[in-house]
Amino acid sequence: MAIQGTDVRKVVVACEAGMGSSVLLVTQLRDRLKGTEVVVQHSPVSQIPADADVIVCHRGLEATARGVAPGKVVVAFSMFLGDPAFDRVVEAIREGKALEG
C-alpha cells in the first residue's frame, strides 16, 4: 500500500492495550508534525478507527493491524526511540512524498 503525504489527514498509533506505548508515541509524533493539519491519535489495535489514513504500530502487532484495517498503510517500528520508521512518516507528510507500508 502507499499514500501520498499530502493525502494524510489522520495517523493512528496503535498498541495492544492502547494505554502505554501508543500514548507516548502520539506525543512524539504530534510534536514533530506541529504546524501541519494532521491529526495523531492513539488506539488499541483492535479498535483502529475507520478514518485512519496511516497506522503506526510495533512490528509485533503489524499482522493484527493489517487484519483490522485492510487496505491501509501500516508502518511498523521496532524501537520506541529513534526508529527510522517515524522519520519516514514525518518526512512523507512534511514533504508530500509517497509513504509505503
Q: Residue 83 or 91: which CB sits closer to another protein?
A: 83
Footprint on this chain of another protein (rule: CB under 8 A): 16-21, 23-28, 31, 44, 46, 58, 60-61, 79-82
Least CB distance to another protein at residue 85 (A):
14
The residue among 3 and 39 lying less far from another protein, judged by its C-beta, is: 39
Amino acid at 66: R
Judged by beta carbon, residue 13 or residue 92, the one nearer another protein is: 13
Please give the full DSSP string across 6-59, using - where no structure is assigned: GG--EEEEEESSSSSHHHHHHHHHHHHTTTS--EEEEEEGGG--TT-SEEEEEG
